[in-house]
Amino acid sequence: MLNRLCPRLAGAALALTLAACATPEPAPVEIRQGVIEQITQTEIASNQHQGVGAVVGGLAGVGIGSLIGGGTGRDVAMVAGAIGGALVGNQVQKRNDQPVPAQQIIVRTKTGVLVAVTQPVNPGLFVGQKVFIQGYGESALVTPQ
């Protein structure tokens, strides 16, 4: 009796395990649509090549420090050059980074929800225009219908 029951219990357990592991059907893609209620001009920080100034400055500092002295003094000069070069390079990069012109767009969706999206300037957008909202979070974009 036990010999017949074990394989059936094992088969039932396997079937339940496989059913629990099955992936659910993906949710249907929702295309959010709405009308622009407000557009405000603003700026967004440029984050392109963030940290490059510090890296280049640090490498230059190590190169210059390696030319100074010998032995332990050279090692100290290289470390000091790397730290100083990184600080100077970072400050030069910050001074040269320019903010990007942008616009904050407030869209009222068909469900009545207000959605605010900040994106680079799109001169083709205007208040009262029907639009799509593509994506979610920081990657969301407003595009004309």
Mean pLDDT of the chain: 81
User: Would you state the pLDDT for residue 25?
Assistant: 67
Q: Do 39 and 54 reside in the same domain of the chain? A: no
Tokens of 32: 């959010």
Q: Is residue 6 part of a domain?
A: no
Overall average pLDDT of the 1-10 stretch: 66
User: Would you state the pLDDT for residue 14?
Assistant: 67
Beta-bridged to residue 143, according to DSSP, are 132
What is the domain count for the chain? Answer: 2
User: Would you state the pLDDT for residue 126?
Assistant: 94
The answer on pLDDT for 4 being more than 80 is no
| Domain span holding position 107 | 18-45+100-145
Q: Name the band, by pLDDT with cuts 50, 70 and 90, for residue 56.
A: confident
Q: Do 93 and 51 reside in the same domain of the chain? A: yes
Overall average pLDDT of the 31-55 stretch: 82
Q: Is residue 9 part of a domain?
A: no
Q: Is residue 4 part of a domain?
A: no
Overall average pLDDT of the 22-39 stretch: 77
User: Would you state the pLDDT for residue 103?
Assistant: 94
Q: Do 108 and 125 reside in the same domain of the chain? A: yes
Q: Is residue 141 part of a domain?
A: yes
Q: How many CB atoms lie within 10 A of CB 32?
A: 18
Q: What confidence tens digit (pLDDT) does each residue in 57-86 have?
A: 777 877 787 788 778 888 888 888 888 888
Q: Is residue 40 part of a domain?
A: yes
Who has greater pLDDT, 27 or 69? Answer: 69
Select from 98, 93, 124 the least CA-distant residue to 43.
98
The answer on pLDDT for 40 being more than 90 is yes
Q: Is residue 38 part of a domain?
A: yes
Residue 66 · residue 97 · CB < 8 Å: no
Q: Please classify residue 123 by burial: count the beta carbons closer than 10 Å to its beta carbon, then call 0-12 exposed, 13-18 middle and 19+ buried.
A: exposed
**Among the residues of the chain, which ranges form H helices?**
2-21, 52-65, 72-96
What proportion of the chain, given as a percentage, has pLDDT over 70?
Answer: 79
Q: Do 40 and 59 reside in the same domain of the chain? A: no
Residue 36 · residue 114 · CB < 8 Å: no
d(CA 22, CA 16): 10
d(CA 77, CA 88): 16
Overall average pLDDT of the 52-58 stretch: 77
Q: Do 35 and 72 reside in the same domain of the chain? A: no
98, 119, 135: which is the final residue of a domain? 98
The answer on pLDDT for 104 being more than 90 is yes
Q: Do 52 and 118 reside in the same domain of the chain? A: no
Q: Do 105 and 39 reside in the same domain of the chain? A: yes
